[in-house]
Amino acid sequence: MKKTDEAVIFLSVVIPCFNEERNIRLGALDSVSSYLTKQTFLWEVILVDDGSNDDSPYLLKKFVAENIGFRLVNIRHKGKAAAVSAGILKSKGKIILFTDLDQATPLKELKKLLPLLEKGNDLVIGSRNSNRKGAPITRLMMARGFMIIRNFILDLGIRDTQCGFKAFQKKAAFDIFSKLLVFNSNRLASGSTVTAGFDIELLYIAKIRGYKIAEVPVEWHYQETRNVNPVKDSLESLLDLVRIRINSLKGLYRA
């Protein structure tokens, strides 16, 4: 990337980080840089450190200093939703993608999303449903069970809401993220926070506000992480579904 002029940036990539020292040292960000430097379009990467308490802040700062096109944003620890939102609202690209630092879905899968955005979709999301390599049976069962509950409460009509690989038209992204209520910037966090509610709320907002959503299968590899607590996160996600439904019944997302 040679310029950072808002008018010419095609793609913004937002990557949240909370205690990702291991993945950074293993070269996850190097793979992101390697892919993007081969592209003909102009791009930027916004790394958002969500108050990490390991060596992530140091490693991110060092990486940004050594790699053109990468920016670092630091926030108080508020969870993945706040980190992604902070990055989205600072993005300059025509297309905005958020993806996980561990690169469970490699950035090269972007090539499957871009054609659907060019066809007029406002939001294109990666789907792992037919390809969850390496995932433990317990995680697969939980995903299936949660999908049934999610569809019963909110009727989203989306097979995989949780894949951390979602691309937006800029206008749609700014509108959707500004309407988050359950996962707004005031929500506090302690410890690791990876709940399903964030992705569901933003997709639900997109649906009821009339945005065109497309879902496409992407490559995905299971990554063992300490940031997921199956029991705790499942209970919190269920409560978030109820909160989203209540907000919807009050008409708050249409305001």
Q: How far are the Cα atoms of 19, 62, 78, 122 from residue 59, in angstroms, in the given order?
A: 11, 5, 20, 34
Q: Is the pLDDT assigned to residue 3 strictly greater than 60?
A: no
Global confidence as pTM: 0.87
Domains (range + CATH), the chain: 11-254 (3.90.550.10)
Residue 71: name the closest of 114, 15, 152 by CA. 15
| Distance (Å, whole) CA 176 – CA 168 | 10
* Tens of pLDDT, residues 191-250: 666 667 899 999 999 999 999 999 999 999 876 655 556 566 677 888 899 999 999 999
* Tens of pLDDT, residues 16-50: 999 999 999 999 999 999 999 999 999 999 999 99
